[in-house]
């Protein structure tokens, strides 16, 4: 897949109404980030087709991928630095806290610190994404 293909999958995932409609794309992006060397361009993250909430959701996902031990260390460092710069830009804009999935009712208490970091009222529920845990297992990771 090309970067443009991954960008389209990312847009589909962040505009999804539910976990069911996003799960396959989430696994595809996680595999790309952790095992195939995909590194989204966060420096120019004013992506055409992504509204402000979708940009926050995309940054949240990239942050989740970057902080996971399945991500190679050097790529994680680069992404986390870019995310830090992006966070100050995105959080300076007006905020309407929404859950990751459009059809989801926000919880009374948001226990997901990463979603709060990106101005969301709820995250994408990684434990409920079938196959995501398998992608994080050591046997599936790249070497080097």
pLDDT, one tens digit per residue, over 86-144 is 888 887 777 777 888 988 888 888 888 999 999 899 898 888 898 888 887 754 555 44
The Cα 63–Cα 115 span in angstroms is 10
Using an 8 Å Cβ cutoff, are 125 and 19 in contact? yes
pLDDT for 45 equals: 58
Using an 8 Å Cβ cutoff, are 104 and 122 in contact? yes
pLDDT digits (tens, 9 = 90+) for 21-34: 999 999 999 999 99
pLDDT for 96 equals: 73
pLDDT for 33 equals: 92
pLDDT digits (tens, 9 = 90+) for 97-112: 788 898 888 888 888 8
- Extract the runs of DSSP E, i.e. beta strands, from the chain: 98-99, 120-122
Q: Is the pLDDT of residue 65 over 90?
A: yes
């Amino acid at each position: 897949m090309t970067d443009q293909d991954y960008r389209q999958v990312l847009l589909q995932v962040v505009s999804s109404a539910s976990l069911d409609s996003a799960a396959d794309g989430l696994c595809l992006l996680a595999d790309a980030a952790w095992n195939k060397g995909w590194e989204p361009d966060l420096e120019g993250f004013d992506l055409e087709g992504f509204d402000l909430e979708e940009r926050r959701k995309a940054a949240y996902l990239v942050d989740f991928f970057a902080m996971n031990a399945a991500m190679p260390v050097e790529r994680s460092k680069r992404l986390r630095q870019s995310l830090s710069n992006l966070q100050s830009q995105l959080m300076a804009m007006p905020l309407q806290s929404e859950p990751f999935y459009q059809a989801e009712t926000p919880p009374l208490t948001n226990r997901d610190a990463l979603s709060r970091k990106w101005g969301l009222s709820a995250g994408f529920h990684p434990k409920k994404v079938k196959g995501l845990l398998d992608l994080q297992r050591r046997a599936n990771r790249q070497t080097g």
